[in-house]
Amino acid sequence: MIVDDSRVSRMMIKANLLAKHPDWQIFEAQDGQDTLTKIANLDVDYFTVDLNMPGIDGLSLIEQLKPQFPASKFVLLTANIQQATHDKAEALCIKCVNKPITETSISTILDFFHA
């Protein structure tokens, strides 16, 4: 599932992931509340979640999702380079990947998902 308030970011992430994994079914949500509404009956293996979104921020959303999806892997996407953000993500076993979305960032995400 791709969670990002930027439609362009969601499109870029989805296109890059499907280019490498055309068999994946990818769900999208525009913010935390949209995610919580949509996941009710979904089985999600991987999440990419933007940090800065209106309403629920990405870290708070992941903290809410982890109990429901204990086997899922989470990537936090952020332009925030503050070490505290990266440290908090690491403490939650979340991979923190810096924006913008590039071929390198997609490779980092996929490496984490397949580890």
Strands, E assignment, the chain: 2-3, 28-29, 46-50, 73-78, 95-98
As a whole number of angstroms, the distance between CA 7 and CA 53 comes to: 12
- Architecture of the domain made up of 2-114: 3-Layer(aba) Sandwich (3.40)
Considering the chain, what percentage of its residues have pLDDT values greater than 90?
82
Q: What pLDDT, on the 0 to 100 scale, is given for residue 42?
A: 92
Angle between helices 83-91 and 58-65 (to 10 degrees): 0
As a whole number of angstroms, the distance between CA 105 and CA 50 comes to: 13
Q: What pLDDT, on the 0 to 100 scale, is given for residue 62?
A: 97
Asked if residue 23 has pLDDT above 90, the reply is yes
pTM for this model (two decimals): 0.94
DSSP-assigned beta bridge partners for residue 76: 49, 96
| Banded model confidence at residue 40, pLDDT cuts 50, 70, 90 | confident
Average pLDDT, integer, range 77-88: 85
